[in-house]
């Protein structure tokens, strides 16, 4: 069965406390704040996006993934003030095998408040339906306990460890792999 989502209109998702909407060039400063923060970068292998110009480059890259119909990335917004507090996305769409990867990043001031879990659950539910997926998967650097908690709260199961698969901050690190099958997913 072909997916119902055709990439013509960007999906806006709403939750109890959040709006997930398209990331635009107006979000360049917010994206550079997220990906310029050393706490966010602790478990990522990327250079800091320490200027709005670098934020715009990331936004352009994400828009390209959407145009190529292989990924959807949302800004996580607080409705009261329209503030960008994070982003989440689904990427590496594999239509033949009906699976996709997910990820999320939040400004540290908003950690521990359930926002990443709330946004991820909405994204996961939407992706299962929109792309008729069989599986959603994610990975995180071993030791990133906060990210592990988000994935487990969203219903993903830890499936294993890829030993020393990534080079982060001058060393090889292990990645924990998580997966969720469609029949296992339950909306809250």
Mind listing the pLDDT tens digit for each residue in 146-160?
Answer: 999 999 999 999 999
Mind listing the pLDDT tens digit for each residue in 108-131?
Answer: 999 999 999 999 999 999 999 999
Mind listing the pLDDT tens digit for each residue in 71-109?
Answer: 999 999 999 999 999 999 999 999 999 999 999 999 999
Beta strand residue intervals within 54-156, DSSP E: 72-78, 83-94, 99-106, 135-141
Q: What tokens appear for 92 in the block?
A: 């590496």
Residues in the chain: 188
Domains with residue ranges and CATH for the chain? 13-133 (3.40.630.30)
pLDDT band of 186, cuts 50, 70, 90: confident
CA dist 3 → 37, 108, 134 (Å): 36, 35, 12
Q: Which residues contact 106 (CB under 8 A, 6 or more apart)?
A: 34, 40, 76, 85, 86, 115, 116
Q: Look at residue 2 in the predicted model and tell me its pLDDT.
A: 54
């Amino acid at each position: 069965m072909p997916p119902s989502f055709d990439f013509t209109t960007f999906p806006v998702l709403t939750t109890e406390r959040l709006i997930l909407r398209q990331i635009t060039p107006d979000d360049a400063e917010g994206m550079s704040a997220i990906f310029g923060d050393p706490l966010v970068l602790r478990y990522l292998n990327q250079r800091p996006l320490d200027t709005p110009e670098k934020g715009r480059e990331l936004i352009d890259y994400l828009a390209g993934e959407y145009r190529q119909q292989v990924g959807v990335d949302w800004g996580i917004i607080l409705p009261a003030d329209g503030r960008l507090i994070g982003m989440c996305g689904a990427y590496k769409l594999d239509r033949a095998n009906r699976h996709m990867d997910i990820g999320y990043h939040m400004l540290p001031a908003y950690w521990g408040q359930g926002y990443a879990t709330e946004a991820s659950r909405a994204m996961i539910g939407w992706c299962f339906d929109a792309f008729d997926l069989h599986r959603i998967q994610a990975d995180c650097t071993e030791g990133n306990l906060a990210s592990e908690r988000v994935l487990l709260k969203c219903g993903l199961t830890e499936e294993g460890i890829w030993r020393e698969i990534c080079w982060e901050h001058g060393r090889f690190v292990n990645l924990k792999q998580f997966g969720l099958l469609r029949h296992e997913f339950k909306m809250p």
